[in-house]
Amino acid sequence: MLKPEEVRKVASLARLELTPDEEGQFATQLSDILTYIEQLNQLDTTDVLPTTRAIDGSNITREDHLTPYANPRLILQGAPEPEGEFFRVPKIGGE
């Protein structure tokens, strides 16, 4: 079972604010997931190369050709707080 401080650390890394009830709930759910991974770990993978993706393949690249996006303003308008040409964001401590 995950300790409450471990849940709090993960939550703070993910910028989540949890109530004490939620902390308990996530402790159980995350522990279930970790238990499942533990089960997978029982498989002998000594001779299996690590894989990082589900599809094989390598070297998928593109040429350095300009393909500008037609409507960057649309992205700006979709932001919670556009301000003129800018995205407005909360001020970060230490700035």
Partner 1 sequence: MNIATPTKIQYEAIIGLETHCQLSTHTKIFCGCSTAFGTPPNTNICPVCMGMPGVLPVLNQTVLEYAVKAGLALNCHISLFSKFDRKQYFYPDLPKNYQISQYDLPIAENGWLEIELVDESGLNPVQKRVGITRLHMEEDAGKLVHAGSDRLAGSSYSLVDYNRTGVPLIEIVSEPDIRSGKEAAEYAQELQRIIRYLGVGDGNMQEGSLRCDVNISVRPIGQQKFGTKVEIKNMNSFSAIQRAIDYEIERQIQSIETNIPVIQETRLWDESNQCTMSMRRKEGSSDYRYFPEPDLTPIELSSGQLKNWQGDLPELPAQKRHRYVSSFGLSAYDARVLTEDRPMAEYFESVIAAGANPKQSANWIMGDITAHLKTTKQSISQLSINPSDLAELIHLIEANTISSKIAKEILPELLVHGGSPQSLIDQKGLTQISDTGLLMAAIDKVLTANPQELEQYRQGKTKLLGFFVGQVMKQTGGRADPKLTNQLLMHKLTD
Catalog residues that contact partner 1 under the rule CB under 8 A.
12-13, 15, 52-54, 57-69, 72, 75-76, 81, 83, 85-95
CB 29, CB 7: distance < 8 Å? no
Tell me if residue 57 falls in helix, strand or coil. Answer: coil
Question: Which is nearer to partner 1, 5 or 81 (by Cβ)?
Answer: 81
At position 37, the amino acid (one-letter code) is: I
Which residue number, 20 or 57, has a Cβ lying nearer to partner 1? 57
Q: How far is the CB of 34 from partner 1 (least distance, A)?
A: 15
CA distance 71 to 73: 5
